[in-house]
Structure 1
Amino acid sequence: MELSPSAHVDTFTRDSLPAAELWPILEFTIPDVQYPKRLNAAAELIDRAVAQHGARRPAILLADGASWSYGELQLRANQFAQVLTEDHGLVPGNRVMLRMLNGPWTVACWLGALKAGMVVVTTMVAWRAQEVGNVAERVSPRIAIVDHRGLADAEEAFAALGAPPTVLVAGGEHDELAAACDAKRGEFAAVDTAADDVALLGATSGTTGVPKVTMHFHRDILANADTFARHVLHLGADDVSASTAPLAFTFGLGGNVIFPLRTGGAMVLVERATPLELAKLIRPLGITVLYTAPTGYRGIIKAGLADELGRLRIGVAAGEHLTRSTFEAVEQASGLRLVNGIGATEMLHVFISASGDDIRPGATGRVVPGYRAAIFDENGRELGTGESGRLGVIGPTGCRYLDDERQSVYVHDGWNITGDTFVRDEDGYFTYQARNDSMIVTAGYNVGAPEVEEAVLAHPDVLECAVVGRPDVDRGMIVAAFVVPREGLAGSDALTASILEHVRARLAIYKCPRRVDYLTELPRNPSGKVQHFVLRERAALDAAIAQPLTQGA
């Protein structure tokens, strides 16, 4: 695909794009995603919103009752763009790293950097020095805006770089960011970027080797709002959105920033939002749309806050598999029918989903308008209805890794292969089976971990559950369940027996766990996803320790 002339003076990101033959197919099949060749996403999100809805319209709502208007957000974004260009001499294409919690200044910096033609790199305050350093080494930021509470790790990470970025501290006693912005008039004309200029770099944490860095264009930022948010969620100016996901993750960035700004709504920002905390803000702040993981909704119900969920217009469950039992439990308790969906950082946001009367409990949904999907076997052959295989997706967004040979792993014959196993029915509904790496092969049988998790979760004394394969001498692998009991209960032989009896009544015997371990909480990454790889590593270590004893018995 031929790219438009770039506005970037620093050509690092365009030079680091994958070779053209490794790109996924990109399709712009609906009018909503047929953008002009020159496009600045921030100008579309904030300047157009102010023009359409007025500067006084509330944009950001805070837990303490304070708020930022669209006009104030625009002013702060413009001031930050001035700080970058006037005080620090940055030019379009330079990378701006944000290491900030969810808050108004984070949004202002994100918008301001894009308006100035910079490339934003969002990172987590929870990341430690090694993780920050791994990402910084890949993207070579010119400046980093760092929350004062995450300064020590950032300084340690940057000290190891050959060309460390300038650090601007946000918050605390010496708020350099606010002081620098206060000195500016707040007038800034958006840089005339190309629609296919890189605007956003999304990185993995990098704790297990070289991080993958996804590359997203200005048009990509708008595309997920103009497909999923518009055609599935039907968001409008009266909606107030809230998400437990950090803005450093594309799921949180989309639901809590891009979607509301694109549709003229408001966002609720809490620095480290928990599901329970946001549930308690539904009534006072008028939240209508909530984004959190399925386990978050279960926790809200079990905390006795089902009535608060019932006030929502939409509850989006993503980040992990939404089981049918969780869907039914939430609907029975609150009347809310959760919107399921699957997305990927590589695709920026959700591309299969369903809402309203189109929801089918247990199924993820149908392709979001503007996308198409198919199921493939291991050899790349497209499978038919009812056949389980690897999910492939094509649409207006697609995977582009920054200078990474793993591009050829994710993209095959133009399709984005997400790493998920799905099955499609005759009506075009896709149902999740497992992550490709979470299929457990035990004694020759294939067992999808999510199916077992759903059965275990249906037990009344189970709060959370994660299922992995545990190495076994006789069977190759056995099904192992890690369980968090409900509050007030502890793991016991009696509870294990009850859980196994419960599961055997629902699943074939070969799918039933042969081992149950109890935890006080499941390991999760900062976005709330269960870290199954941590549990697999633990199970493998336990098996290795136990194996000699078994063989010698």
Structure 2
Amino acid sequence: MKHYEDNFAHDHLPHPSLMADCFTGHDDFEFPEDLNCVERLLDRHIAEGNGDKIAIRTFDTSWTFNDLYKKANQIAHVLREDAGFVPGNRVLIRSANNPMYVACWFGILKAGGIVVATMPLLREKELTVMADSAQISHALCDYRLIDDLKSVTSGCLNKIIAFDGTGQTEQELEKLMTGKPETVTNYPSKADSVAIIGFTSGTTGKPKMTSHYHKDILLICEAFPKYSLNPTPDDIFTGSPPLGFTFGLGGLVLFPFYFGASTFLIEKPTPDLLLQAIQDYKITICFTAPTAWRVLTTKVADYDISSLRKCVSAGETLPEKVWDDWYEATGLKIIDGIGSTEILHIFISSNEENMRKGATGKPIRGYEAKIVDENGNDVANGIEGRLAVRGITGCKYLVSADKQKEYVQNGWNITGDIFRKDDDGYFWFVARGDDMIISAGYNISAIEVESVLLTHDAIAECAVVGLPDENRGMLVCAYIVLHDKSRAHETTTKAIQDWFKEVAAPYKYPREIRYLDSLPKTETGKIQRFKLKNIVQA
């Protein structure tokens, strides 16, 4: 079946035989064949007479569902009438978390586009790879972030439209929206039409494209929120993850809107701003990473957070000490969870009734999980092994049959994490099974960092590993061999770090640089990273 006029995404989905086993098993997870997820997340609030209810707040403004609905409809008209857009085109969004970002997200889906949400920290090189890989034709970009996007060298990206995420000026998008109808006929997508593409860093250095259907967007709203949060229309969500992360998209847009609640967006969510928002706007649910929970604990005594009822942590494993310290300071239990871009959101977590401190939790409604060995055989409780998950959503890599075969085995999603399961069915995180570095909630590919470093004129060779760190979980540590070994000093280190932050996403930069005369290698010339990791741990 042809889903779109531009059918690139569907033409490059994995063969059905390579897909994960997906099942529903409950009426809550059944959606009609004709489905545009925007209608359930946004349009129904207007139809049900709740258009005047607040949807999005910031420190500077507030939008009702009606405001969001009208702007999203106008953006859909701009794409269709002024941008050379056809249904199925991939449209990139580049912006910090703000109301216009959300309007663009909905407007693209209303027009029949596929959203490629990105983080504002990404640079020209990374954006070029994305544009080429997904054949992205259009981009909606906050004018404050447009320079890197305009430097993208992809031959696919032919239309960049600027908007103002502050709402203070009229950029090209706002000007084009002026006078456009405030209603639109949504594109008649199917439940299994691709709605979003998310990029995930891999150990090969080339990012993988995960795709998710319109029904997937709604399915995750029936899973984690109902299991762990029990949201009501009176809830106000906030948090720190960028909307370019599926963790942020779910926690700050999909979940609140699905349940008729509201969201509070912060462009640069420092711990103090998070606490101020919770205090001043009576936030009830907060999503952030363990690193942030640790800092919030040190500052929380200065704020009134009595409105807060649910605290969610994901992005990296939650240390017991962070849980203990927050609970002692606030009386609130942090809900830990693990998810992945491939599966879209959290699939193992807990609620306040079944929480076991230190454990990630149990499979939430809609999912099942097990621990397997290298051959895919189940292992006994208490034995460490690979985490395997299946349920209502699953991995669908585009243009990557080999990676699909690695991630999906025997119908199960193999996440790359090492876990063990206890006799009561709780899952306990052990380690990452690959060379991904998880630092302050960000997934960073060691190979990707190396590929950037090797473009520096002073660097002859390098290898990157994760260094355990109390505050960030892990640090990016680069072992570097210089052309001129006499330059192995702090001045060179700072110069390399500053340069890296200019040419790649700053959160990926090596916070630790160590100099070697040579890297340990096998006889065939392959770098022995395990030896470097042993140096790190020594």
Q: Shorter-normalised TM-score: what interval? A: 0.7 to 0.9
Distance (whole Å) between structure 1 residues aligned to residue 144 and residue 506 of structure 2: 24
Q: Given that residues 300 and 306 in structure 1 are in contact (C-alpha distance below 8 angstroms), is that contact kept between their aligned partners in structure 2?
A: no
What residue in structure 2 maps to residue 345 of structure 1?
341
Q: Given that residues 388 and 415 in structure 2 are in contact (C-alpha distance below 8 angstroms), is that contact kept between their aligned partners in structure 1?
A: yes
Q: Which moved more, 1:5-14 or 1:23-32?
A: 5-14
| SS state at 2:341 partner | coil
Distance (whole Å) between structure 1 residues aligned to residue 133 and residue 466 of structure 2: 38
Say whether residues 1:155 and 2:157 are aligned partners. Answer: no
What residue in structure 2 maps to residue 244 of structure 1?
240
Q: Given that residues 112 and 189 in structure 2 are in contact (C-alpha distance below 8 angstroms), is that contact kept between their aligned partners in structure 1?
A: yes
Distance (whole Å) between structure 2 residues aligned to residue 419 and residue 206 of structure 1: 11
Q: CA deviation at 1:308?
A: 3.9
Q: Deviations over 1:443-490 (max 9, x none)?
A: xxxxxx99xx9xxxxxxxxxxxxxx9xxxxxxxxx99644569xxxxx
| SS state at 1:32 partner | helix
Q: Given that residues 91 and 108 in structure 2 are in contact (C-alpha distance below 8 angstroms), is that contact kept between their aligned partners in structure 1?
A: yes
Say whether residues 1:256 and 2:252 are aligned partners. Answer: yes
Q: CA deviation at 1:106?
A: 0.6
Q: Given that residues 162 and 171 in structure 2 are in contact (C-alpha distance below 8 angstroms), is that contact kept between their aligned partners in structure 1?
A: yes
Q: CA deviation at 1:407?
A: 1.1
What residue in structure 2 maps to residue 114 of structure 1?
109
Q: Deviations over 1:29-69 (max 9, x none)?
A: 222111111110111110112223511000001113x2000
Q: Given that residues 203 and 435 in structure 2 are in contact (C-alpha distance below 8 angstroms), is that contact kept between their aligned partners in structure 1?
A: no
Say whether residues 1:424 and 2:404 are aligned partners. Answer: no
Q: Given that residues 300 and 329 in structure 2 are in contact (C-alpha distance below 8 angstroms), is that contact kept between their aligned partners in structure 1?
A: no
- Alignment RMSD, CA only? 3.1
| SS state at 1:387 partner | coil
Change (3 A) 1:295 1:154: same
Distance (whole Å) between structure 2 residues aligned to residue 529 and residue 311 of structure 1: 34
Distance (whole Å) between structure 1 residues aligned to residue 120 and residue 203 of structure 2: 14
Distance (whole Å) between structure 1 residues aligned to residue 127 and residue 309 of structure 2: 37
Say whether residues 1:143 and 2:138 are aligned partners. Answer: yes
Matching residue's letter, 1:112 = G
Q: Given that residues 246 and 272 in structure 1 are in contact (C-alpha distance below 8 angstroms), is that contact kept between their aligned partners in structure 2?
A: no
Equivalent pairs: percent with the same residue? 38
Distance (whole Å) between structure 1 residues aligned to residue 343 and residue 277 of structure 2: 30
Distance (whole Å) between structure 2 residues aligned to residue 240 and residue 140 of structure 1: 37
Matched ranges for 1:66-81 at <5 A? 66-81=61-76
Say whether residues 1:131 and 2:104 are aligned partners. Answer: no
Q: CA deviation at 1:183?
A: 2.3
Matched ranges for 1:49-64 at <5 A? 49-52=45-48, 54-64=50-60
Q: CA deviation at 1:163?
A: 3.3
What residue in structure 2 maps to residue 325 of structure 1?
321
Q: Given that residues 359 and 428 in structure 2 are in contact (C-alpha distance below 8 angstroms), is that contact kept between their aligned partners in structure 1?
A: yes
Q: Given that residues 293 and 529 in structure 1 are in contact (C-alpha distance below 8 angstroms), is that contact kept between their aligned partners in structure 2?
A: no
Matching residue's letter, 2:133 = R
Matched ranges for 1:147-546 at <5 A? 147-157=142-152, 160-171=153-164, 175-204=171-200, 209-305=205-301, 308-404=304-400, 405-437=402-434, 481-482=468-469, 534=510, 538=513, 544=519
| SS state at 1:216 partner | strand
Say whether residues 1:97 and 2:108 are aligned partners. Answer: no
Matching residue's letter, 1:143 = H
Unaligned runs of 5+ in 1: 440-448, 454-467, 469-477, 486-518
Q: Deviations over 1:330-388 (max 9, x none)?
A: 00011110001000000110001111121111111111111100100111111122221
| SS state at 2:387 partner | strand
Distance (whole Å) between structure 1 residues aligned to residue 423 and residue 470 of structure 2: 36
2:83 pairs, out of 85, 88, 91, with 88
Change (3 A) 1:148 1:542: farther
Say whether residues 1:35 and 2:31 are aligned partners. Answer: yes
Q: Given that residues 131 and 205 in structure 1 are in contact (C-alpha distance below 8 angstroms), is that contact kept between their aligned partners in structure 2?
A: no
Matching residue's letter, 1:108 = A
Q: Deviations over 1:489-529 (max 9, x none)?
A: xxxxxxxxxxxxxxxxxxxxxxxxxxxxxx9x9x99xxx99
Change (3 A) 1:207 1:6: same
Q: CA deviation at 1:285?
A: 1.1
Matching residue's letter, 1:14 = H
Q: Given that residues 97 and 267 in structure 2 are in contact (C-alpha distance below 8 angstroms), is that contact kept between their aligned partners in structure 1?
A: yes
Distance (whole Å) between structure 2 residues aligned to residue 292 and residue 173 of structure 1: 31
Matching residue's letter, 1:161 = S
Q: CA deviation at 1:136?
A: 0.4
Matching residue's letter, 1:61 = R
Q: Given that residues 352 and 367 in structure 1 are in contact (C-alpha distance below 8 angstroms), is that contact kept between their aligned partners in structure 2?
A: yes
Distance (whole Å) between structure 2 residues aligned to residue 386 and residue 540 of structure 1: 40
Distance (whole Å) between structure 2 residues aligned to residue 35 and residue 10 of structure 1: 25
Q: Given that residues 286 and 312 in structure 2 are in contact (C-alpha distance below 8 angstroms), is that contact kept between their aligned partners in structure 1?
A: yes
| SS state at 2:151 partner | helix
How many residues in Structure 1 have an aligned counterpart in Structure 2? 468
| SS state at 1:319 partner | coil
Q: Given that residues 127 and 205 in structure 1 are in contact (C-alpha distance below 8 angstroms), is that contact kept between their aligned partners in structure 2?
A: no
Q: Which moved more, 1:219-228 or 1:273-282?
A: 273-282
Unaligned runs of 5+ in 2: 440-445, 447-464, 473-493, 521-530
What residue in structure 1 maps to residue 456 of structure 2?
none
Change (3 A) 1:83 1:71: same
Q: CA deviation at 1:207?
A: 10
Matching residue's letter, 2:226 = R
| SS state at 2:398 partner | coil
TM-score under structure 1 length normalisation = 0.79
TM-score under structure 2 length normalisation = 0.81
